[in-house]
Amino acid sequence: MDVAKKILILSILCMSMTYYLEIETPLTQSVLSWKKRGHYFKYKEHSIYFLKQTNDSPKTKSSLVLLHGFPSFSYDWAKLLKNLENYDKFEDIITFDFIGYGLSDKPRNHLYSIFEQANITDALIKHLKLKNVHILAHDYGDTVAQELLARWNKNEVTDWNLQSVCLSNGGIFPETNFPRPTQKLLRLPYLGSFLSKLMFYGAFRRGFSEVFGPKTQPTEEEFQDYWSAIRQQAGEAISYRLLHYISERQENKERWTNALVSSKVPLHVIYGPADPVNPRGFIEFYKNTVPNSEVTVLRDHISHYPQVEDVEAFSEAFKNFLNSQ
């Protein structure tokens, strides 16, 4: 092939990549209705999407805040919110999209960090004037919950009270966390940034499918729901930046493990044992490291998204934990 042809092919490739990054994949009907149920609030100059489900006659003056995982968004909690519709313990249940995820802003040259996500959570709680807050988290959200717990233990939280923390399948300890091959590739210097921009539906679908159990796979529509949310503001192009949390977990291992060990509030973990990201060794490690916490292990085939894969059992485990406090 002569040089001219090579240059031509390369330019076509680059042009299609640029075009792809600039067009938006429209939201699916389900995600569009999800968006319409919620609102936005400003954190610095960024718009953050949140959704609040209110109970008219709550038994206690407390709220539940749900923190989602990577690479998904608040929609992870849609089934649980439906399940808890008539649950009268909380005045309101709130979920939101972290910056860089789902329907929230995705600034390009931004240093995404767990500390900032914790600040955003704190800002939203203050914005909504919540007073007594229970946190239920998953995956990436677990790390944010650990940071908030660290602050609470050190009396650094102002204006609201943390009541309890419930985590679920997440990289709580770097020792028992095994990032997926795609996550490893995207973390490579320079190449990661390039590969992020080349991410397309097929690659996403394959990777996402691997973290669900074989019997509890998302439907084709659900894969598309998640993808359409990632594609807002070309979110796939910053995934290598979001993955910064993997090195943050290593750097702050002591702070975030200690937050659990010396927790001043009740703790619980709900665990889907077929999780390839946090395989079975995790639960033994957790029990030994955090003896002050209770755990619920779900059925053998439940994997990395327990709140989606088995919402009934997940919700029951969470309610039992609240009742035991």
Does position 53 interact with ligand NAG (CB under 6 A)? The reply is no
**Is position 247 an interface residue for ligand NAG (rule: CB under 6 A)?**
no
Please tell me whether residue 248 binds ligand NAG under the rule CB under 6 A. no
Residue 57 to residue 316: CA distance in whole angstroms? 21
Residues of span 115-144 touching ligand NAG by CB under 6 A: 115-116, 119
Cα-based angle 230, 234, 236 (whole degrees, multiple of 5): 55
Q: What is the distance between the alpha carbons of residues 7 and 108, in angstroms, rounded to a whole number?
A: 28
For the sheet with 132-137, list strands across it: 39-43, 46-54, 92-96, 63-67, 132-137, 161-168, 267-271, 294-297
Could you identify the residue written with the tokens 């919540």? 130
Site string for ligand NAG, 197-236 (x = CB under 6 A): ----------------------------------------
How many residues form the binding site for ligand NAG (CB under 6 A)? 4
Q: In whole angstroms, how close is the CB of 117 to ligand NAG at the nearest point? A: 9
How far apart are the C-alpha atoms of 102 and 49, rounded to whole Å? 8
Closer to ligand NAG by CB, 99 or 103: give it.
99
194 forms part of the interface with ligand NAG (CB under 6 A): no
Supply the angle between the helices 3-22 and 191-198 in degrees, to the nearest 10: 70
Contacting residue, 113, 177, 193, 216, with ligand NAG by CB under 6 A: 113
The minimum distance between CB 46 and ligand NAG, in angstroms, equals: 11
Q: Is 275 an interacting residue with respect to ligand NAG (CB under 6 A)?
A: no
Using CA atoms, how far apart are residues 246 and 260, in angstroms rounded to an integer?
A: 18
**Part of the chain binding ligand NAG (CB under 6 A), chosen from 11-19, 110-118, 137-145, 270-278:** 110-118
Tokens of 273: 């044992």
- For ligand NAG, the closer CB: 119 or 146: 119
Which residues sit at the interface with ligand NAG, rule CB under 6 A? 113, 115-116, 119
